[in-house]
Amino acid sequence: MKLVIKMKVIAAILLLLILPQLNAAEQKPIPMVILLEAGEFDNIDEQTPHLLSNVWQTIREYTPTPLQPKQLQVSMSRSWKELPKQQNACIMNALKSDDREQVAYFSRYPLSVYPPIRLFHRRDTQISFSRPFDFAQLEQHPEITLGVVKGRSYGADLDKQLAAHQLNVYQRSSIESSTKLIEMLLANRVDAILDYSLSIDHYFNVLQLENPLVAEPIADVTQPMFGYIACSKTAQGKAIIDNIDASLTVEHVQQQYIDYHRQFFGEMEFALLQPLLEQLFQSQ
Protein backbone atom coordinates (compact mmCIF):
# COMPACT_ATOMS: atom_id res chain seq x y z
CA MET A 1 0.00 0.00 0.00
CA LYS A 2 2.78 2.39 0.96
CA LEU A 3 4.50 1.64 -2.36
CA VAL A 4 1.31 2.43 -4.29
CA ILE A 5 0.90 5.74 -2.46
CA LYS A 6 4.55 6.58 -3.04
CA MET A 7 4.20 5.84 -6.76
CA LYS A 8 1.12 8.06 -7.00
CA VAL A 9 2.96 10.93 -5.30
CA ILE A 10 5.88 10.57 -7.72
CA ALA A 11 3.48 10.45 -10.68
CA ALA A 12 1.73 13.61 -9.46
CA ILE A 13 5.04 15.45 -9.09
CA LEU A 14 6.16 14.38 -12.57
CA LEU A 15 2.84 15.53 -14.01
CA LEU A 16 3.24 18.95 -12.41
CA LEU A 17 6.72 19.24 -13.89
CA ILE A 18 5.68 18.13 -17.37
CA LEU A 19 2.37 20.02 -17.72
CA PRO A 20 3.91 23.50 -18.24
CA GLN A 21 6.13 22.10 -20.99
CA LEU A 22 3.16 20.39 -22.64
CA ASN A 23 1.13 23.58 -22.50
CA ALA A 24 3.96 25.56 -24.05
CA ALA A 25 4.36 22.98 -26.80
CA GLU A 26 0.64 23.08 -27.51
CA GLN A 27 0.53 26.87 -27.81
CA LYS A 28 -0.65 27.86 -31.22
CA PRO A 29 1.36 30.63 -32.88
CA ILE A 30 -0.44 33.94 -33.32
CA PRO A 31 -0.67 34.73 -37.05
CA MET A 32 0.12 38.31 -38.05
CA VAL A 33 0.46 40.29 -41.27
CA ILE A 34 3.31 42.80 -41.49
CA LEU A 35 2.51 45.68 -43.84
CA LEU A 36 5.94 46.49 -45.16
CA GLU A 37 7.35 48.87 -47.75
CA ALA A 38 9.92 47.31 -50.06
CA GLY A 39 13.46 47.62 -48.73
CA GLU A 40 12.38 48.64 -45.23
CA PHE A 41 14.32 45.80 -43.56
CA ASP A 42 17.10 45.51 -46.16
CA ASN A 43 20.61 44.91 -44.82
CA ILE A 44 23.31 47.51 -45.39
CA ASP A 45 25.61 44.68 -46.49
CA GLU A 46 26.20 41.00 -45.76
CA GLN A 47 28.11 41.80 -42.58
CA THR A 48 25.64 44.42 -41.25
CA PRO A 49 22.08 43.21 -40.74
CA HIS A 50 19.46 45.94 -40.53
CA LEU A 51 18.70 47.29 -37.06
CA LEU A 52 14.98 46.54 -37.48
CA SER A 53 15.66 42.95 -38.54
CA ASN A 54 17.90 42.31 -35.55
CA VAL A 55 15.56 43.83 -32.98
CA TRP A 56 12.48 42.15 -34.44
CA GLN A 57 14.15 38.73 -34.52
CA THR A 58 15.16 39.05 -30.87
CA ILE A 59 11.67 40.15 -29.85
CA ARG A 60 10.17 37.11 -31.57
CA GLU A 61 12.51 34.73 -29.76
CA TYR A 62 11.19 35.83 -26.35
CA THR A 63 7.44 36.35 -26.83
CA PRO A 64 5.35 34.22 -24.40
CA THR A 65 3.31 32.94 -27.36
CA PRO A 66 5.04 32.43 -30.73
CA LEU A 67 4.23 34.95 -33.45
CA GLN A 68 3.75 33.71 -37.01
CA PRO A 69 4.27 36.68 -39.34
CA LYS A 70 3.87 36.96 -43.07
CA GLN A 71 4.64 40.05 -45.11
CA LEU A 72 2.38 42.08 -47.36
CA GLN A 73 4.30 44.58 -49.46
CA VAL A 74 2.51 47.93 -49.63
CA SER A 75 3.43 51.59 -49.93
CA MET A 76 3.63 53.74 -46.80
CA SER A 77 0.43 55.61 -47.67
CA ARG A 78 -1.52 52.43 -48.36
CA SER A 79 -0.39 50.68 -45.17
CA TRP A 80 -2.47 52.97 -42.93
CA LYS A 81 -5.50 52.47 -45.17
CA GLU A 82 -5.00 48.71 -45.12
CA LEU A 83 -4.50 48.39 -41.36
CA PRO A 84 -8.18 48.94 -40.32
CA LYS A 85 -9.29 46.34 -42.88
CA GLN A 86 -7.17 43.60 -41.31
CA GLN A 87 -7.76 41.79 -38.02
CA ASN A 88 -4.11 41.01 -37.31
CA ALA A 89 -1.98 43.45 -39.31
CA CYS A 90 0.96 45.45 -38.01
CA ILE A 91 3.05 48.35 -39.28
CA MET A 92 6.67 48.40 -38.21
CA ASN A 93 8.64 51.45 -37.11
CA ALA A 94 5.64 53.81 -37.03
CA LEU A 95 5.59 57.22 -35.36
CA LYS A 96 2.83 57.74 -32.83
CA SER A 97 0.15 60.40 -33.32
CA ASP A 98 -3.30 61.00 -31.84
CA ASP A 99 -4.96 60.10 -35.14
CA ARG A 100 -3.02 56.85 -35.48
CA GLU A 101 -3.77 55.79 -31.93
CA GLN A 102 -7.47 55.91 -32.84
CA VAL A 103 -7.01 53.06 -35.31
CA ALA A 104 -4.09 51.05 -33.89
CA TYR A 105 -2.60 49.59 -30.73
CA PHE A 106 1.00 50.74 -30.31
CA SER A 107 3.79 48.84 -28.60
CA ARG A 108 4.86 50.19 -25.23
CA TYR A 109 8.49 50.39 -26.35
CA PRO A 110 9.75 51.59 -29.74
CA LEU A 111 11.13 49.12 -32.26
CA SER A 112 13.88 51.63 -32.98
CA VAL A 113 15.21 55.03 -31.97
CA TYR A 114 16.69 57.06 -34.83
CA PRO A 115 18.70 60.31 -34.89
CA PRO A 116 16.70 63.34 -36.09
CA ILE A 117 15.50 63.66 -39.68
CA ARG A 118 17.60 65.92 -41.93
CA LEU A 119 17.00 67.92 -45.09
CA PHE A 120 19.08 66.63 -48.03
CA HIS A 121 19.96 68.54 -51.19
CA ARG A 122 22.42 68.07 -54.01
CA ARG A 123 25.91 69.39 -53.42
CA ASP A 124 25.75 71.32 -56.72
CA THR A 125 22.39 72.96 -56.04
CA GLN A 126 21.98 76.63 -56.94
CA ILE A 127 19.72 77.17 -53.93
CA SER A 128 21.30 78.53 -50.75
CA PHE A 129 19.53 76.59 -48.04
CA SER A 130 19.69 78.12 -44.57
CA ARG A 131 21.66 76.17 -41.96
CA PRO A 132 19.90 74.94 -39.99
CA PHE A 133 17.14 74.77 -42.56
CA ASP A 134 14.15 76.89 -41.54
CA PHE A 135 10.76 76.48 -43.20
CA ALA A 136 10.43 80.26 -43.15
CA GLN A 137 12.83 80.22 -46.13
CA LEU A 138 10.04 78.70 -48.24
CA GLU A 139 7.87 81.77 -47.75
CA GLN A 140 10.42 83.83 -49.70
CA HIS A 141 11.08 81.04 -52.21
CA PRO A 142 7.83 79.46 -53.41
CA GLU A 143 9.76 77.79 -56.24
CA ILE A 144 11.57 75.39 -53.86
CA THR A 145 10.12 71.87 -53.88
CA LEU A 146 10.58 69.46 -50.98
CA GLY A 147 9.98 65.75 -51.54
CA VAL A 148 8.35 63.64 -48.82
CA VAL A 149 6.78 60.19 -48.60
CA LYS A 150 2.99 60.33 -48.72
CA GLY A 151 1.44 58.81 -45.62
CA ARG A 152 4.62 58.93 -43.54
CA SER A 153 4.63 60.89 -40.31
CA TYR A 154 7.77 62.96 -39.77
CA GLY A 155 6.84 63.84 -36.20
CA ALA A 156 4.23 66.31 -34.95
CA ASP A 157 6.31 69.47 -35.48
CA LEU A 158 7.53 68.60 -38.97
CA ASP A 159 4.08 67.39 -40.02
CA LYS A 160 2.65 70.80 -39.07
CA GLN A 161 5.34 72.61 -41.04
CA LEU A 162 4.74 70.44 -44.10
CA ALA A 163 0.99 71.02 -43.88
CA ALA A 164 1.55 74.79 -43.62
CA HIS A 165 3.76 74.79 -46.75
CA GLN A 166 1.82 72.42 -48.99
CA LEU A 167 2.58 74.43 -52.14
CA ASN A 168 6.27 73.64 -51.64
CA VAL A 169 5.77 69.94 -50.88
CA TYR A 170 5.70 67.05 -53.33
CA GLN A 171 4.35 63.80 -51.87
CA ARG A 172 5.55 60.56 -53.42
CA SER A 173 3.22 57.58 -53.11
CA SER A 174 4.49 54.25 -54.39
CA ILE A 175 6.25 51.11 -53.30
CA GLU A 176 9.89 52.04 -52.59
CA SER A 177 8.80 55.68 -52.33
CA SER A 178 11.85 56.64 -50.24
CA THR A 179 14.19 55.29 -52.93
CA LYS A 180 12.19 56.99 -55.67
CA LEU A 181 12.52 60.34 -53.90
CA ILE A 182 16.31 60.01 -53.77
CA GLU A 183 16.28 59.28 -57.51
CA MET A 184 14.07 62.32 -58.12
CA LEU A 185 16.49 64.49 -56.15
CA LEU A 186 19.45 63.20 -58.14
CA ALA A 187 17.53 63.87 -61.37
CA ASN A 188 16.83 67.46 -60.25
CA ARG A 189 13.06 66.86 -60.15
CA VAL A 190 12.83 68.05 -56.54
CA ASP A 191 15.15 70.47 -54.75
CA ALA A 192 15.43 68.65 -51.43
CA ILE A 193 14.01 65.71 -49.49
CA LEU A 194 13.49 64.86 -45.83
CA ASP A 195 15.02 61.60 -44.63
CA TYR A 196 17.36 59.94 -42.14
CA SER A 197 21.12 60.11 -42.74
CA LEU A 198 21.40 56.34 -42.41
CA SER A 199 18.78 55.75 -45.12
CA ILE A 200 20.64 58.00 -47.53
CA ASP A 201 23.98 56.34 -46.78
CA HIS A 202 22.39 52.92 -47.25
CA TYR A 203 21.13 53.86 -50.73
CA PHE A 204 24.59 54.86 -51.99
CA ASN A 205 26.36 51.99 -50.20
CA VAL A 206 24.15 49.46 -51.96
CA LEU A 207 24.87 51.05 -55.34
CA GLN A 208 28.54 51.53 -54.42
CA LEU A 209 28.35 55.18 -55.43
CA GLU A 210 29.78 58.31 -53.87
CA ASN A 211 27.14 60.26 -51.98
CA PRO A 212 26.63 63.63 -53.76
CA LEU A 213 24.08 64.90 -51.23
CA VAL A 214 24.48 67.33 -48.35
CA ALA A 215 22.61 66.91 -45.04
CA GLU A 216 21.27 70.00 -43.30
CA PRO A 217 19.92 70.02 -39.74
CA ILE A 218 16.37 71.34 -39.46
CA ALA A 219 15.55 74.18 -37.07
CA ASP A 220 13.85 72.99 -33.87
CA VAL A 221 14.17 69.33 -34.93
CA THR A 222 16.83 68.05 -32.56
CA GLN A 223 15.22 65.08 -30.82
CA PRO A 224 15.59 61.45 -31.97
CA MET A 225 12.60 59.75 -33.59
CA PHE A 226 10.83 56.81 -31.96
CA GLY A 227 9.43 54.15 -34.31
CA TYR A 228 6.87 51.82 -32.72
CA ILE A 229 5.03 48.69 -33.81
CA ALA A 230 1.37 49.51 -34.53
CA CYS A 231 -1.20 46.72 -34.86
CA SER A 232 -4.89 46.41 -35.74
CA LYS A 233 -7.20 47.71 -33.04
CA THR A 234 -8.78 44.28 -32.57
CA ALA A 235 -8.47 41.41 -30.09
CA GLN A 236 -5.88 39.79 -32.38
CA GLY A 237 -3.90 43.03 -32.67
CA LYS A 238 -3.94 43.50 -28.90
CA ALA A 239 -2.67 39.93 -28.39
CA ILE A 240 0.25 40.61 -30.74
CA ILE A 241 1.13 43.86 -28.97
CA ASP A 242 0.88 42.22 -25.51
CA ASN A 243 3.39 39.56 -26.58
CA ILE A 244 5.76 42.13 -28.06
CA ASP A 245 5.59 44.22 -24.87
CA ALA A 246 6.23 41.14 -22.73
CA SER A 247 9.30 40.24 -24.76
CA LEU A 248 10.77 43.71 -24.32
CA THR A 249 10.59 43.42 -20.53
CA VAL A 250 13.17 40.59 -20.64
CA GLU A 251 16.57 41.90 -19.53
CA HIS A 252 18.48 40.04 -22.25
CA VAL A 253 16.22 41.50 -24.96
CA GLN A 254 16.73 45.00 -23.57
CA GLN A 255 20.52 44.65 -23.59
CA GLN A 256 20.48 43.26 -27.13
CA TYR A 257 18.24 46.17 -28.16
CA ILE A 258 20.78 48.70 -26.89
CA ASP A 259 23.74 46.80 -28.38
CA TYR A 260 22.07 46.61 -31.81
CA HIS A 261 21.58 50.40 -31.82
CA ARG A 262 25.25 50.90 -30.95
CA GLN A 263 26.39 48.55 -33.74
CA PHE A 264 24.06 50.04 -36.31
CA PHE A 265 24.62 53.76 -35.76
CA GLY A 266 28.24 53.82 -34.60
CA GLU A 267 29.68 55.51 -31.53
CA MET A 268 29.10 59.14 -32.61
CA GLU A 269 25.35 58.82 -33.25
CA PHE A 270 24.98 56.35 -30.38
CA ALA A 271 26.28 58.95 -27.93
CA LEU A 272 23.16 60.99 -28.72
CA LEU A 273 20.84 57.99 -28.40
CA GLN A 274 22.34 56.16 -25.39
CA PRO A 275 20.68 58.17 -22.56
CA LEU A 276 17.27 57.78 -24.20
CA LEU A 277 17.75 54.07 -24.83
CA GLU A 278 18.71 53.43 -21.22
CA GLN A 279 15.77 55.50 -19.91
CA LEU A 280 13.32 53.48 -21.98
CA PHE A 281 13.53 50.46 -19.70
CA GLN A 282 14.06 52.17 -16.35
CA SER A 283 10.38 52.97 -15.76
CA GLN A 284 8.90 49.55 -16.57
In the CATH hierarchy, which top-level class contains the domain 30-114+224-280?
Answer: alpha beta
Res 21: pLDDT: 52
pLDDT of residue 198: 82
What pTM value is reported for the model?
A: 0.77
118-216 sits in which CATH class? alpha beta
Distance CA 70, CA 269 (A): 32
- According to the model, what pLDDT value does residue 77 have? 80
User: What pLDDT does residue 38 have?
Assistant: 64
- Sheet arrangement for strand 192-195: 169-172, 146-149, 192-195, 118-122, 213-216
Tell me what pLDDT residue 47 has: 53
Pairwise CA distance, residues 61 & 68, whole Å: 11
Residues of the chain with pLDDT under 50: 2-6, 9-17, 19-20, 22-25, 44-45
Q: What is the pLDDT of residue 137?
A: 95
Q: What angle do CA 264, 32, 24 make, to 5 degrees?
A: 95
What pLDDT score does 75 carry? 85
Of the candidates 177, 129, 189, 188, the one whose C-alpha atom is nearest the C-alpha of residue 149 is 177
Q: How far is CA 63 from CA 1, 94, 109, 248, 249, in A?
A: 46, 20, 14, 8, 10
Residue type, 88: N
For CATH 3.40.190.10, list the domain ranges present in the chain: 30-114+224-280, 118-216
If you ran DSSP here, which 8-state letter would residue 147 be given? E
State how far the Cα of 128 lies from the Cα of 119, in Å rounded to an integer: 13
